[in-house]
């Protein structure tokens, strides 16, 4: 009886995961979708604890251990999720993702020890099991170490790091881990099996580190999405090991969803995944840096206030600078002031502005900016020709004309916001330093462009003050 | 070769699930608007925490004196729970902000 109830719980849970993802595709139902999937997960977890039966028919033991682990994990997870600032969201997702990967790795290690105790029975099913265990360890470890590096990089703790021939070394590391795994699986009786297992463990961990380290700047969202997909696959390995179809379904679902999301992001930047992984932005800064280092002109707060107050239409282009300065509320304030003066204000959102796709949408939504004021790239590009003032807040690479004109630029080919079609461009930046991808931006030296230096939040607040005083 | 065929026939069901779910994942996701990409990634990440059930099974099976399995399992359950709970809560926090404004 218990087993059939559990089967039913698992089926419902699998359906909630799919429904959840489906509901996530519409802003109106997204929140409900998240809760539905969460409820399915909770049901499946408790079902597993109380109803799961081992192949020999016995129930699970060690309830005290299990519940204390869940309580501890819930406390930490809740605390971290409630505490994290909106700007640090991408790092947090990356960190959570890494922990999931570590969990999958640990399961594989325990199952390996389990098989080792039985002296590696030499039948085909245990070879298959072993292959899945290795896949779980390799995928889980890459997810774990890679996500930690991505987390460190986004929070500024780890710097870009690349050396000559790194790609070759990465390839060798990965090939070695793979070859060793195949060798071990094909001959389980070898005395070296256990040692080699831990060598594979280390190799995949190191591979994860070297895999993410050289990838810098604008490509980080793609990497996190890819690692997310890997963590799904490593979870699926766990599901396969226990013939647990809900874990398997959930894992594969995330693997497929993560992959398609990664591809969508690459498409938004007009690059192939291979190009992102091999031609890392962080590595070769020289090419484009030597460009036009001409004259730029500054604009005063007062002038900016006047220009914008008397415009018909203002488009705001937010970027990472807005997130860092936590300027979203000040930005909304400016929008309201301008609208009160009869100016039409909208936001132009580049798909990869910020550190993650949708980063800007989340941030602006937090400040109560209405949803229909956010234009996607294509819509925005249609509107620039009729726009009087474009206000760029801490965005850089997504408006860099080099992406269209300079084939030598690392971001060549990435679609950008054509802000130059507007009559005036006001750029708010902290200094003339190049953006996250380390590429000089010719836009700043164009005759239409004026620079408004300073921290985005402070500048916006002062701008609001000036507009009120007009 | 023989053993590979045998493995396929033993795991036929899982292979069906694999193929169908891959297509399902592709279709469900490809309709998500850019606006929701970050919450979606976070949501998918929370779902990948399903691996916690594997961790629970490992722990529940371990003999009471097998401390290595218990400790590793404990760690796996803790990390998996952080992934699940943190993932869903963070996603909810992000989506909370998408409420329709009047």
If asked whether residues B26 and B42 sit together in one domain, one would say no
Q: Which chain B positions have a beta carbon within 8 Å of A93's beta carbon? A: 38, 41-42, 45, 87, 90
If asked whether residues A405 and A256 sit together in one domain, one would say no
If asked whether residues A200 and A229 sit together in one domain, one would say yes
Report the pLDDT value the prediction gives residue A287, as an integer from 0 to 100.
39
CA distance B54 to A104: 8
If asked whether residues A374 and A397 sit together in one domain, one would say yes
If asked whether residues A79 and A100 sit together in one domain, one would say no
Task: Out of A57, A83, A109, pick the residue that ends a domain.
Answer: A83
DSSP string, A56-118: TSPBP--HHHHHHHHHHHHHHHHHHHHHS-GGGHHHHHHHHHHHHHHHHHHHHHHHHHHHHHT
Instruction: Read off the pLDDT band of B36 (50, 70, 90).
Output: confident
User: For all residues of chain A together, what is the average pLDDT?
Assistant: 85
The arithmetic mean of pLDDT across residues A347-367, rounded, is: 81
Report the pLDDT value the prediction gives residue A409, as an integer from 0 to 100.
76
A137 in a structural domain: yes
If asked whether residues B46 and B76 sit together in one domain, one would say yes
Q: In this predicted model, what pLDDT tens digit does every residue of A404-434 receive, in sequence order?
A: 887 777 777 788 888 888 888 999 888 777 6
Instruction: Read off the pLDDT band of A123 (50, 70, 90).
Output: low
Q: Which two tokens stand for residue A35?
A: 């809760």
In this structure, of A16-20, A80-84, A215-219, A326-330, the range with the lowest mean pLDDT score is A215-219
If asked whether residues B44 and B92 sit together in one domain, one would say yes
If asked whether residues B24 and B51 sit together in one domain, one would say no
If asked whether residues A259 and A330 sit together in one domain, one would say no
Res. A3: pLDDT tops 80: yes
If asked whether residues A458 and A326 sit together in one domain, one would say yes
Q: Which two tokens stand for residue A157?
A: 């703790």
If asked whether residues B15 and B41 sit together in one domain, one would say no
Q: Which domain holds residue A217?
A: 87-283
Res. A211: pLDDT tops 80: yes
Counting residues of chain A whose pLDDT is more than 70, the rounded percentage is 92
Cβ atoms A153, A91 nearer than 8 A = no
Report the pLDDT value the prediction gives residue A289, as an integer from 0 to 100.
40
Res. A291: pLDDT tops 70: no
Q: Which two tokens stand for residue A240?
A: 């396969």
Instruction: Read off the pLDDT band of A295 (50, 70, 90).
Output: confident
Task: Out of A283, A302, A335, pick the residue that ends a domain.
Answer: A283
Instruction: Read off the pLDDT band of A281 (50, 70, 90).
Output: very low
Smallest CA–CA separation between A317 and chain B, in Å?
15
Per-residue b/e over A1-24, b at no fewer than 16 CB within 10 Å? eeeeebeebbebbbebbbbbbbbb
A288 in a structural domain: no
If asked whether residues A222 and A138 sit together in one domain, one would say yes
If asked whether residues B14 and B62 sit together in one domain, one would say no
If asked whether residues A274 and A304 sit together in one domain, one would say no
- In this structure, are strands A389-393 and A313-318 parallel, antiparallel, or unpaired? parallel
Cβ atoms B25, A260 nearer than 8 A = yes
Counted domains in chain B = 2
If asked whether residues B49 and B79 sit together in one domain, one would say yes
The arithmetic mean of pLDDT across residues A249-259, rounded, is: 93
If asked whether residues B52 and B3 sit together in one domain, one would say no
Cβ–Cβ gap A38/B46 under 8 Å: yes
Q: Which chain A positions have a beta carbon within 8 Å of B42's beta carbon? A: 89, 93, 96
Counted domains in chain A = 3
Res. B102: pLDDT tops 60: no
A278 in a structural domain: yes
Q: Which chain B positions have a beta carbon within 8 Å of A252's beta carbon? A: 17-18, 21-22, 25
Report the pLDDT value the prediction gives residue A326, as an integer from 0 to 100.
84
Give me the phi and psi of B2, to 5 degrees please: -50, -45
Q: Which domain holds residue B21?
A: 1-31
If asked whether residues A159 and A223 sit together in one domain, one would say yes
The set of catalytic residues of A is 397
Smallest CA–CA separation between A74 and chain B, in Å?
6
Res. A293: pLDDT tops 60: no
In this structure, of A158-167, A391-400, B77-86, the range with the lowest mean pLDDT score is A158-167
Cβ–Cβ gap A235/B54 under 8 Å: yes
Residues 6+ apart with CB under 8 A from B49: A41, A100, A103, A235, B80, B81, B83, B84, B87
Cβ–Cβ gap A106/B75 under 8 Å: yes
If asked whether residues A409 and A339 sit together in one domain, one would say yes
Cβ atoms B35, A358 nearer than 8 A = yes
If asked whether residues A73 and A95 sit together in one domain, one would say no
The alpha carbon of B33 is separated from its chain's Cα centroid by a whole number of angstroms, namely 22
> Which residue in this structure is represented by tokens 């059930």?
B53
Task: Out of A65, A83, A101, pick the residue that ends a domain.
Answer: A83
Nearest CA in chain B to A31: B95
Instruction: Read off the pLDDT band of A108 (50, 70, 90).
Output: very high
Alpha carbon separation from A290 to A98, A280, A293 (Å, rounded): 38, 18, 8
Res. A8: pLDDT tops 60: yes
A447 in a structural domain: yes
If asked whether residues B53 and B88 sit together in one domain, one would say yes
Cβ–Cβ gap A357/B38 under 8 Å: yes
The arithmetic mean of pLDDT across residues A73-95, rounded, is: 89
């Amino acid at each position: 009886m218990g087993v059939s109830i559990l089967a039913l719980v698992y089926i419902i849970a699998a359906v909630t995961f799919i429904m959840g993802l489906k509901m996530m595709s519409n802003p109106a139902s997204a929140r409900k979708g998240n809760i539905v999937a969460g409820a399915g997960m909770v049901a499946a977890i408790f079902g597993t604890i109380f109803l799961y039966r081992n192949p020999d028919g016995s129930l699970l033991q060690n309830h005290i251990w299990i519940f204390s682990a869940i309580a501890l994990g819930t406390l930490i997870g809740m605390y971290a999720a409630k505490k994290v600032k909106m700007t640090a969201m991408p790092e947090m997702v990356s960190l959570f993702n890494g922990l999931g990967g570590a969990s999958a790795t640990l399961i594989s290690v325990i199952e390996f020890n389990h098989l080792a105790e039985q002296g590696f029975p030499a039948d085909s099913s245990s070879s298959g099991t072993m292959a899945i265990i290795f896949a779980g360890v390799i995928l889980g470890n890459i997810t774990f170490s890679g996500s930690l590096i991505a987390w460190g990089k986004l929070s500024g703790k780890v710097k870009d790091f690349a050396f000559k021939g790194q790609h070759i070394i990465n390839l060798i590391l990965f090939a070695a881990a793979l070859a060793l795994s195949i060798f071990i699986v094909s001959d389980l009786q070898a005395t070296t099996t256990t040692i080699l297992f831990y060598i594979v463990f280390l190799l995949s961990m190191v591979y994860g580190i070297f895999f993410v380290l050289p990838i810098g700047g604008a490509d980080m969202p793609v990497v996190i999405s890819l690692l997310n997909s890997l963590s799904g696959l490593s979870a699926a390995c766990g599901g396969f090991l226990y013939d647990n179809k809900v874990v398997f379904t959930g894992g594969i679902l995330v693997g497929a969803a993560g992959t398609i999301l990664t591809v969508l992001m690459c498409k938004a930047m007009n690059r192939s995944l291979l190009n992102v992984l091999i031609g890392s932005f962080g590595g070769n800064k020289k090419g484009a840096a030597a460009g036009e280092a001409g004259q730029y002109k500054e604009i005063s707060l007062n002038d900016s206030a006047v220009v914008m107050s008397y415009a018909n239409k203002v488009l705001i282009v937010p970027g990472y600078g807005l997130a860092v300065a936590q300027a979203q509320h000040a930005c909304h304030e400016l929008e309201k002031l301008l609208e009160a003066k009869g100016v039409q204000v909208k936001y132009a959102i580049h798909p990869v502005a910020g550190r993650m796709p949708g980063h800007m949408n989340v941030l602006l939504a937090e400040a109560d900016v209405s949803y229909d004021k956010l234009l996607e790239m294509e819509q925005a590009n249609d509107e620039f020709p009729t726009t009087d003032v474009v206000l760029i807040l801490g965005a850089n690479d997504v408006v860099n004309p080099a992406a269209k004109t300079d084939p030598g630029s690392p971001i060549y080919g990435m679609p950008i916001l054509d802000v130059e079609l507007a009559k005036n461009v006001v750029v708010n930046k902290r200094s003339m330093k190049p953006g996250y991808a380390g590429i000089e931006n010719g836009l700043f030296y164009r005759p239409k462009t004026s620079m408004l230096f300073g921290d985005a939040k402070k500048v916006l607040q002062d701008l609001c003050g000036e507009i009120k005083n007009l | 070769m023989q053993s590979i065929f045998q493995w396929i026939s033993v795991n036929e069901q899982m292979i069906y699930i694999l193929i169908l779910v891959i297509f399902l994942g592709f279709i469900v996701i490809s309709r998500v608007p850019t606006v929701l990409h970050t919450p979606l990634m976070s949501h998918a990440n929370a779902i990948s925490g399903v691996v916690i059930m594997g961790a629970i099974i490992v722990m529940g099976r371990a003999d009471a004196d097998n401390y290595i399995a218990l400790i590793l399992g404990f760690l796996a359950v803790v990390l998996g729970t952080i992934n699940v709970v943190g993932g869903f809560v963070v996603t909810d926090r992000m989506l909370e902000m998408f409420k329709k404004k009047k």
